[in-house]
Amino acid sequence: MSALVRREPHGEELRWDPQLPLDPAKLSGYDAVVHLAGKNIAGRWTEKFKSELLASRVQGTRTLATAAAESYRRSEQPKAFISASGIGYYGHRGDELLTEKSAAGTGFLAELSRQWEAASAPASEAGVRVVCLRIGVVLDRHGGALKQLLLPFRLGLGGRIGTGKQYWSWVSLEDVVGVVLLALRDESLRGPLNVVAPSPARNAEFVHALGSVLHRPTMFPFPEFAVRALLGEMGQELLLTSARVIPKKLQDHGYNFAHRDVENALRAALR
């Protein structure tokens, strides 16, 4: 196993630049490519910042997919291309139950995810098995939404965001890893794959569970107008959007989730 890095490589690492063509020979002999890279989505969503978010995902994916396709045509492998995407693909859908067959939504994240997945086309067109992981809110104390929530909640300043009725489709970090391993092993898996727990939680339920785990009150709501005023478009799409996503394909494949309940998953993440 090797990692592609942009700095000076060490050991078995391989150097690449997502904006430049990648020599297909660098992928020779590897069974699969797992591509999870992309610029951190947190920040003020100026037009420049959004362009950087899009380029970091679309161009990097296309670069790797093109190299994987050429390597596959030369019978040098890889046979599988596993690429990250996100449940932002579905946009704001209220209480609608969303599976991998649901149509794309509207908004910046939906368009970003659509282009992100489309960038893997060179690999699939060459015959490489492509899986696009539509990952939900990952519960990891070291990053993502949970890390940002911890300080105010530990100070006793947490509360529902907006109405609290919007669905947050979450997943434990342990299950993200488990699904990646499943996607590598199971040759019947291809196309979009919802990487979320089978029990999406409304924001109010998520907040209550986090407060319970931290033994803190959750009496300070963060109203919609404040989210929009402080965080702009990013706050609207990341915090106020509702996506009730279920892992239909994973359930059909009998995947055994390590964490199915949001409170237990939060306890595990914050151990």
pLDDT single digits (tens) 236-250: 999 999 999 999 999
CATH code at position 264: 3.40.50.720
Q: What is the DSSP string of 89-116?
A: GG---TT-EE-TTSPP--SHHHHHHHHH
Contacts of 255 (CB under 8 A, 6+ apart): 178, 179, 182, 247
The pLDDT of residue 9? 87
Q: Is 12 a residue whose pLDDT tops 90?
A: no
The residue ranking higher by pLDDT, 85 or 9, is: 85
Alpha helices per DSSP H over the chain: 47-73, 108-118, 121-126, 144-154, 173-185, 203-214, 224-235, 248-252, 262-269
pLDDT tier for residue 43 given thresholds of 50, 70 and 90: confident
Burial group, residue 76, by CB count within 10 angstroms (0-12, 13-18, 19+) = middle
Domain range enclosing 250:
4-269
Q: What is the mean pLDDT of the chain?
A: 95
Rounded mean pLDDT of 174-182? 97
DSSP at 162: T
Q: Is 144 a residue whose pLDDT tops 90?
A: no
pLDDT single digits (tens) 57-92: 999 999 999 999 999 999 888 999 999 999 999 999
Rounded mean pLDDT of 139-160? 93
Q: Say what angle helices 47-73 and 108-118 make with each other, to 10 degrees.
A: 20
User: Which tokens hold the place of 59?
Assistant: 């161009």
Q: Per the structure, how many domains does the chain have?
A: 1
The pLDDT of residue 120? 97
